[in-house]
Amino acid sequence: MVKATPLAPLESKKYFKEMLARRGLSELHTIIGQCGWHTAAQFAYSCGVNPSTVTNKIWEKRVLRRVLPNEDKPSEHPLVNDLRRLWHESQQMHEAECRRAHDKAPGDVTCAISGPDRRKRRRELMDELSPETARG
Asked whether residue 125 is domain-assigned, the answer is: no
Asked whether residue 3 is domain-assigned, the answer is: no
Asked whether residue 79 is domain-assigned, the answer is: yes
The whole-model pTM stands at 0.67
Asked whether residue 124 is domain-assigned, the answer is: no
Helices 13-22 and 80-102 sit at what angle, rounded to 10 degrees? 140
Q: What is the mean pLDDT of each run of 10 residues along the chain (136 residues)?
A: 56 91 94 93 85 85 91 89 92 84 72 85 83 54
Asked whether residue 99 is domain-assigned, the answer is: yes
Domain count, the chain: 1
Predicted local distance difference test score (pLDDT) of residue 50 = 78
Predicted local distance difference test score (pLDDT) of residue 35 = 94
Q: Rounded to the nearest 5 degrees, what angle is found at the Cα of 70, between the Cα atoms of 66 and 74?
A: 65
Q: Which residue type is seen at 63? A: V
Predicted local distance difference test score (pLDDT) of residue 55 = 87
Instruction: List CB contacts of 133: < 8 A, sequence separation 6 or more.
Output: 127
Predicted local distance difference test score (pLDDT) of residue 131 = 64
Q: What is the extent of the structural domain holding 37? A: 8-109
Distance linking the first and last C-alpha atoms of the chain: 37
Asked whether residue 116 is domain-assigned, the answer is: no
